[in-house]
Every structure is written in C-alpha cells, then in structure tokens.
A = this chain, B = another copy of it.
Amino acid sequence: MAQKTREQLIEVGLKQIHTAGYGATGVNEILALAEVPKGSFYHHFPSKEVFAAAVLQRYGEGETHRWEMILGDKNQAPLKRLRLYFEDLISVYGQTGPISGCLMGNLTLEIADHSDVLQPMLKGCFGAWEDAVAEALREAVAGGELDPSANPGELASFIVNNWEGALLRSKAERSDRALELFLDFTFKVLLKG
C-alpha cells in the first residue's frame, strides 16, 4: 500500500511536470489528482525537489526501456534501428504526439542552473542516452554501414543534442517541421552511407 501511494504520486507527478513544467506544477495539484493527502507526500519525499528527482528517474527508466527495445533489435541494421528510434520519438514527443517535449530538456532549461540535486541527474541521463546512441553507431561502423573514420561518441553526442534543439524549435513553431528536418540531416548528411 505504501509503495502504491508513492508510485501513484510519481506517476501523476511525471505527467503533470512533463506537460506543465516543474514550477507551474504545485504539490497540491498533484495531491488532488492522485487523491493523496499532503501528509503522505511529505512522508515519502522530503521536498518537492527530491520528488522531481524521483520523477526524473522514473522517466529515465521508461526511456531506457524504449531505446533498449528499439536500438537493441538485432533483426534490423544499426542505422535502420536508429532511424526507427527517432521516428518513434517524434510520434511520441512531437507536436502531433500525446505529450510534446522531453522532460529532460524541459527540466534542464528550467532548473539545472539552480538545482544541485537535479543537475547531476540530468547530466547522467543525457550521458546514458548518448552512450546508447553511440553504441548503435559503433555497430554501424562494425557492419560497414558507417565510415570507419567516424567518431561514434562525438557523433552520438551531436545527434542527441540536435534532437533536443529540434524538439525545442518544434515547440516554438508548434509544428514537427524541425523534427523532420533533424531526421533528414541526421541520416542524409551526418550518417550518410
């Protein structure tokens, strides 16, 4: 029961913080949606900031699962997997998708500067994500899909950062244009066979 309450709070909090932002989401709002009294919240989490860290961790776990599923599918060629992966991300986090925007990116711009709790977590999340992409690129090199002179680590970092930039721009424009452009340049220029 205790765990269920905690899980319920994180689940509701993830949705709210992701869509409305950290600052714009009040603890009371989460409590009302989760139908949990305030005392329980502060029993499970010492502060809103630590709660956000738990929410971010859960988001990271979900995203790890996603890339493991798609990027780990050995039935597809590495670059094909990568393309499917980003196409999936667009359908989920693009303007036409159900949520729009990346929680990591949102939290980074909102509070990474000011929170010593969340900033290292964000850094770690981006690092793990970048590593997963780099691994796919390494496999692409090994399989002859990608020029051996390519630097998978730097390339992966650049691509991941570019994705965040495209997502940001797509919010400003309220259109997936920037995301499609990202896809085009990434696979036709940066990762061209």
Q: Give the interface of A toward B (CB within 8 A).
A: 19-21, 23-24, 100-101, 104-106, 108-114, 119, 122-123, 126, 154, 157-158, 160-166, 168-169, 171-174, 178, 181-182, 184-185, 189-190
Contact = CB atoms under 8 A, between A and B. Distances in A.
Q: How many copies of this protein are present in the complex?
A: 2
Contacts of A114: 20, 24
Contact of A174 (B104, B119, B154): B119
Given A122-B172, A161-B182, A164-B168, 8 more contacts: A23-B24, A106-B109, A112-B174, A119-B174, A123-B174, A161-B178, A162-B162, A168-B168
Contact of A172 (B20, B126, B162): B126
A46 to B, nearest CB: 21
Q: Which has the most chain B C-beta neighbours within 10 Å: A100, A126, A164?
A: A164
B169 A161 contact: yes
Given A109-B105, A110-B109, A126 B164 contact: no
